Amino acid sequence: MVDLALSEEFSAVSSREAALKRFGRSDMRFRLMTLGAALLVVAIFAGLMVSLLRGAWLALHTFGWSFLTTTVWNPVTGKFGAFAAIYGTLISSALAMLLAVPLGVGIAIFLTELCPRALKRPVGIAIELLAGVPSIIYGIWGLFVFAPYFQQHVEPWIIDAFAGIPYLQDLFAGPPYGIGTFTAALILAIMILPFISAVTRDVFETVPPMQKEAAYGVGCTTWEVMWRIVLPFSRAGVVGGSMLALGRALGETMAVTFVIGNAHRINPSLLAPGTTISATIANEFTEALGDTYVSSLVALGLILFGITFIVLAAAQLMLKSLDRRSGGKAP
Amino acid sequence: MKPVLNRLAGIALGAVLAGAAGAASAADMTGAGATFPYPIYAKWAEAYKKATGIGLNYQAIGSGGGIAQIKAKTVDFGASDKPLSPGELDAAGLTQFPTVIGGVVPVANIPGIKPGELKLDGPTLANICLGTVKYWDDAAIKRLNPSANLPHLAILGVHRSDGSGTNFIFTNYLSKVSPAWASQVGAATSVEWPSGIGAKGNEGVAGNVKQTKGALGYVEYAYAKQNTLTYIKMINHDGKAVDPTADAFQAASAKTDWAHAPGFYVTLTNQPGANAWPIAGATFILVYKHPGDAAKTKQVLSFFKWAYAHGDAMAKSLDYVPLPDSTIQAIDQSWHKNIDGAAVP
């Protein structure tokens, strides 16, 4: 009897040990699998860097730093410089952000605080659908619908309005082509708007209602609640959503190619045709003949990689400094 | 956990095997290169497969890619819109021959001007593209069109932004007729345009020209024909004004002395002949003179021989221009002269 009880106890202990071991093994397997997935990302990144550097080496070696600072892009003579494309990429994305961020945050505020219940879902769904439209659709729409309207009804008005004002008249100088850097920025703004407003709306909804109600309770206006309670609380999310949008704007290819005019020139006027890094690569890669030409296009890709990296790093730094200023209490 | 993983692995393995079995069978030819002739090569290949059972796997990755692939010997033939120079061909041990002709047509949007009403000559067209002729009522254009009612409207040049054979043919023509263009810009699949805007693809150029008053662009013949754009007559090498028609493109090839052009290094621009359209060009196939696999190259040449004999109607239905018989004879002779006997059908 005693023996039996002992052996039963013993077997229970040993089966528990076996179970623990089994759990340990499966934990280990799971850990290795996730580690493998994480390492895969690092390996892909490293492979990408190596192949970009190898591809770009000839161009960087041939042109040196002048590749970054010259605007000449001549496949016939084999002289290439990336400055016009870099300039176009930065200007079109910056303009798009300038237009889309206030608008996107405004939409999110309306949806979370002011919108009548019946309208909330339809507007929210419409925004999410906009985010799913393929970029080629924006490109074709931009070229065939938006550009002609813009050319005939908006651009002449802009050019007239700013004529005679120093600096601004150069920034908005004619002739009205309908396509150009400004049109590309507008199309980009429409494309990134849903990213900003969808992410921002989601983070606004994570603000504890108690805080907002308390603020309303002490007599704050809606504007004060948004500006002093909601925005500080959800700062990280808003910046994150905006950076996601900026990433898309910097790399956007198809839509931009259709409406930017694809000219390797730097023109002070925003209405004039320009080009971007990704548009240049998409346009010229297939029929690029000659090693330096192909290498220069790969080098453009490397530069875009660098720009994206700098933008992401700057966003992280910005978030950190914001946190420090508010005493590190950000969520 | 484990059985699930095993099953997943099994599915994955099965998919890989099925994929391998579904890939091109060994008897098929492979080719890569130019995008411009892709629709007609695909159509010929489909008909050829029905007739002979041999398929063609053609990847339209662009001329640059096609040249690189044939040099790397990963395909049986390469295809390029821009012919390689005799020096380049010799260095790589390649030979080339044309397949179909493509024409490039200037199109414009001028209020009050109908298709074919306006005519231009090469030097004037080059000066417009250089930006030295700025208005439609410029003296140079008026001189060629004394009866046309030309408005004082700025000319907006619209060019192809994507590297293309169309660009090469157009800039090659401008280089031949304008020393200023040749020295300042040159001829290539992409060039540094001195003025105007770049639009993506034929559809982009056609769209911009249609929308913009005063625009001048150029598109492939098929595009000009199907979109009823306001085309411009060109004054050719012989001083005659011609309309862009299939016959006019063929005429450009007919008078060309292919037989004495080493490696068919000819662009059909500014060719002699009263009816010849001046802005035309052929697209080319690249094969090895001394192929490693003679049987494979023979297959490729047999395919194109069949296409020359039976493919004209198909080419015309897609608005490509078939080569004239004299050119096809010259191609056959060049095969016998340049390529190993075992590889020539």
pLDDT digits 0-9 by tens, A33-87: 999 999 999 999 999 999 999 999 999 999 999 999 999 898 888 899 999 999 9
B89's tokens: 């061909």
Q: Supply the pLDDT for residue B4.
A: 45
**What predicted TM-score, i.e. pTM, was given to this entire model?**
0.79
Percent of chain A surpassing pLDDT 90:
42
Q: Is B203 helix (H, G, I), strand (E, B) or coil?
A: helix
Which residue numbers in chain B have pLDDT < 70? 1-26, 259
A263 with B154: Cβ contact below 8 A: no
pLDDT tens profile A146-168: 998 998 889 889 888 888 888 88
Segment A204-230 mean pLDDT: 90
- How far does the CA of residue B129 sit from the closest CA of chain A (Å)? 14
CA distance linking residue B118 with residue B219, whole number of Å: 17
Q: Supply the pLDDT for residue B5.
A: 43
CB contact, 8 Å: B158 with chain A? no
- Give A-chain residues touching B188 at CB under 8 angstroms: 75-76, 289
User: Which of B:93-152 have CB within 8 Å of A?
Assistant: none
Q: Supply the pLDDT for residue B18.
A: 41
Q: Supply the pLDDT for residue B130.
A: 92
Whether residue A290 is predicted with pLDDT greater than 50 in this model: the reply is: yes
Domains of chain B: 2-102+261-267+283-343 (3.40.190.10), 104-255 (3.40.190.10)
Q: Supply the pLDDT for residue A326.
A: 62
A263 with B207: Cβ contact below 8 A: no
B189 with A178: Cβ contact below 8 A: no
Size of interface A-B (CB pairs under 8 A): 108
What is each CA distance from A33 to A39, A43, B5, B11, in whole angstroms? 10, 15, 12, 19
- How far does the CA of residue B11 sit from the closest CA of chain A (Å)? 19
CA distance linking residue A218 with residue B193, whole number of Å: 65
Q: Quick one: pLDDT band at residue A8, thresholds 50, 70, 90? A: low
Token pair 């009403």: residue:
B117
Q: Supply the pLDDT for residue B22.
A: 40
B64's tokens: 């640059």
A287 with B189: Cβ contact below 8 A: yes
Segment A14-18 mean pLDDT: 84
B64 with A287: Cβ contact below 8 A: yes
Token pair 């306001």: residue:
B230
Residue of B nearest to A255 (CA): B200
- How far does the CA of residue A124 sit from the closest CA of chain B (Å)? 34
Q: Supply the pLDDT for residue B20.
A: 40
Q: Best of B211, B227, B286 to disrupt the A interface by mutation (most A CBs within 10 Å)?
A: B211
Residue of B nearest to A144 (CA): B207
CA distance linking residue A276 with residue A82, whole number of Å: 10
Q: Quick one: pLDDT band at residue A95, thresholds 50, 70, 90? A: very high
Give the helix ranges, DSSP H, for chain B: 2-22, 38-52, 63-71, 86-92, 122-130, 139-144, 165-177, 179-184, 201-211, 221-226, 246-254, 294-310, 312-317, 325-338
- Give B-chain residues touching A273 at CB under 8 angstroms: 197-198
Q: Which residue has the higher pLDDT, A45 or A131?
A: A45
CA distance linking residue B55 with residue B299, whole number of Å: 10
Which H/E stretch holds residue A129?
helix A117-131
A249's tokens: 């704007």
User: Which of B:213-272 have CB within 8 Å of A?
Assistant: none
- How far does the CA of residue A307 sit from the closest CA of chain B (Å)? 24
